[in-house]
Amino acid sequence: MIKDTLLKMDIIELNLNDSILKKLKCKGILIVEDLWKLKRKDLKNLGFSDMEISQIIVKLQLNAIDLNKKIY
pLDDT in tens, 9-60: 999 999 999 999 999 999 999 999 999 999 999 999 999 999 999 999 999 9
Task: Please state the domain extents for the chain.
Answer: 2-71
Q: Which helix (H) or strand (E) holds 71?
A: strand 70-71
Number of alpha carbons in the 13 Å side-chain half-sphere of residue 62: 10
State phi, psi for 29 to the nearest 5 degrees. Answer: -95, 100
Q: What is the pLDDT of residue 13?
A: 93
Prediction pTM value:
0.86
When pLDDT is cut at 50, 70 and 90, the band that residue 69 belongs to is confident
Indicate the CATH number for domain 2-71: 1.10.150.20
pLDDT at 44: 97
